[in-house]
Structure 1
Amino acid sequence: MAVAGIIRAAEAAGGFGAVLHKGEREAGTILVVMAERGANLRLFELLPDPERGRVWTCTRQQDPENPADFSEYLDRRCSRDPDLWIVELDIADGERFILRQGFLG
């Protein structure tokens, strides 16, 4: 399963990974929340790109002035899509980590 692979790879690279929301095992969309030492939260989703197929794209960042908004957004996404998986990775250089690993969800 892609989620388990993402978490294992993050932990093997010295980071931490956890499932925040379990979705449909076979068909659920995967969102990745990236953190660095518990801060600077960013949300990545696989989105279509005409030149490269599906690519991980940062679609949201935590607002330091309103940190609760980020969690509320994730809650809304889960309520609209119960098949959704949300994985949190706390790892240095998180963006390059998922791009380098080639995870395609």
Structure 2
Amino acid sequence: MTTRLPTRLLVDALLRRANDRGDMGMVLARGDRDAGGLLVIAVDRDGTERFLERRLDFDGRATLVDVTPANDSTNYRERRRAQDPDLWIVELNVPEPERFIAETLGQG
């Protein structure tokens, strides 16, 4: 059995670390403090958005999955939030977002 950290703690860690590096991050939607899911919108320097969702694999380990929609990213974000009101949505403007998230959340 694995102990999961509260989602609010994970979000705070992402935002604090981004800020400490001089990058930017913001919460677009707050979810359940303890057990909410996490969707990160990673914005590259050229403005390209990628959607990265933290999910649990079959062994209960957290993994980062690229769920970037082929088109209509605004509606995707709204649909995911409607499907899961406990979902946190965070936007990060950081270089190498997958690596940054994995290092911050202890997945790398």
TM-score for the superposition, normalised by structure 2: 0.78
1:102 to 1:4, Cα distance in 2 relative to 1, 3 A: closer
CA–CA separation in structure 1 for the residues paired with 2:46 and 2:32: 27
Q: Which residue of 2 aligns with 1:87?
A: 90
Pairing 1:15-30 to 2, within 5 Å after superposition: 15-30=23-38
Residue 8, structure 1, aligned to residue 16, structure 2: yes
Deviations 1:37-66 (A, max 9, x none): 3611111112334579221121115x5xx5
Q: What runs of 5+ residues in structure 2 fail to find an aligned partner?
A: 1-8
Residue 35, structure 1, aligned to residue 46, structure 2: no
Q: What runs of 5+ residues in structure 1 fail to find an aligned partner?
A: none
Instruction: Check the 8 A contact 2:41/2:92 in 1, yes or no.
Output: yes
TM-score for the superposition, normalised by structure 1: 0.80
Superposition RMSD on alpha carbons, in Å? 2.1
The structure in which a higher percent of residues are strand is 1
Count of residues in correspondence between the two structures:
99
Post-superposition shift, 1:91? Answer: 0.9
Q: Which residue of 2 aligns with 1:47?
A: 55
Percent of residue pairs bearing the same amino acid type: 35
Instruction: Check the 8 A contact 1:6/1:103 in 2, yes or no.
Output: no
